Amino acid sequence: LDTPSQLAAAEALAGRRGAVVAIDPQNGEVLVLASAPNFDSNAISSGLSRREYRELQENPDRPMFNRALRGAYPPGSTIKPIIAMAGMHYGVLDPDKREYCGGFYRLPGKAHRYRDWKPQGHGPVDMHDAIAESCDVYFYEISRDIGIDAMHDYLSRFGLGTKTGVDLDSESSGLVPSREWKRSAFSNRDDKRWYHGETVIASIGQGYMLASPLQLGSDAAALATRGQRYSTHVVAA
C-alpha cells in the first residue's frame, strides 16, 4: 500500500459509505484498498468489551465489512469498454462506424423502451464517443448482436465473476450471468428462461451482474496495459 494515497482515499471517503481501489498496472501491486466507514482495528487487538464488539457488528453502516474486497455491486458503466472490446472480438462492431442514439432503444418487434441516461440521446456516436459519453443505447445494440453467453465468456476472460486471487481472505467473486447460470440459480422456479431484455441491461452492468471494487480495479489495470495481467497483491515480499 502507498501510505499517502491510502490516506488521501480515506480522507475523500470521510462521512460516506464507499470504497477506493488503486492498482499499479505494471505489476499488480495494490496501492489503495480503502473502505468506509472503517473502525480502529487496534481496539480489537487491545481488547473490546462484548458490548463494544456487538455495537460494531450491529452498526447499520457495517464498519467491519470491507467494501473494497468483499463488496459485490452492479458495476454499471465501468464495464462498457470491455463490452466494446467484446463487440470487436465477435466481429459485430466497427469502432469507427457512427451509430445513432435517440435516447432509447427497442428490441425488434417490442414496444418497451430501454432508456439512455441522456433523455434527448447522444446523436451519432462511434465507439470512442460512446465510451467517453457513456452512451447506453450504443451498448444495448452490441448486446443484441453478441448475446448473453458470448458476453459472459468475454467478461470472464477479464476475471469478472471470479476472485482476483489477492493475498487477503474473504474476497468476493462477483457474478457474470449466463443462460446456464440462470437455469441453475432459478432451478426451483417454473420460468428459468433468459430474456433478451436481461441481456440488454447486462450490457451496461445492471441486472444480475455484480463485481467488487477490487475486480474493477484489476480490469482497469488490464485495459491500461492492453491486456497484460498481473496477479493483484498487497504483500510486497
Specify whether 77 is catalytic.
yes
For 1, 194, 206, the CA distances from 138, given in Å and listed in that order, are 38, 21, 15
Non-local (6+) Cβ contacts of 162 within 8 A are 156, 173, 174
In which residue are the cell numbers 450491529 written? 58
Which three-class secondary structure state does DSSP give residue 110?
coil
Q: How many CB atoms lie within 10 A of CB 76?
A: 14
Q: In this structure, are residues 68 and 24 in contact, taking their beta carbons and an 8 Å threshold? A: no
Which three-class secondary structure state does DSSP give residue 30?
strand
Q: Which of 77, 156, 184, 203 is catalytic?
A: 77
Catalytic site positions: 77
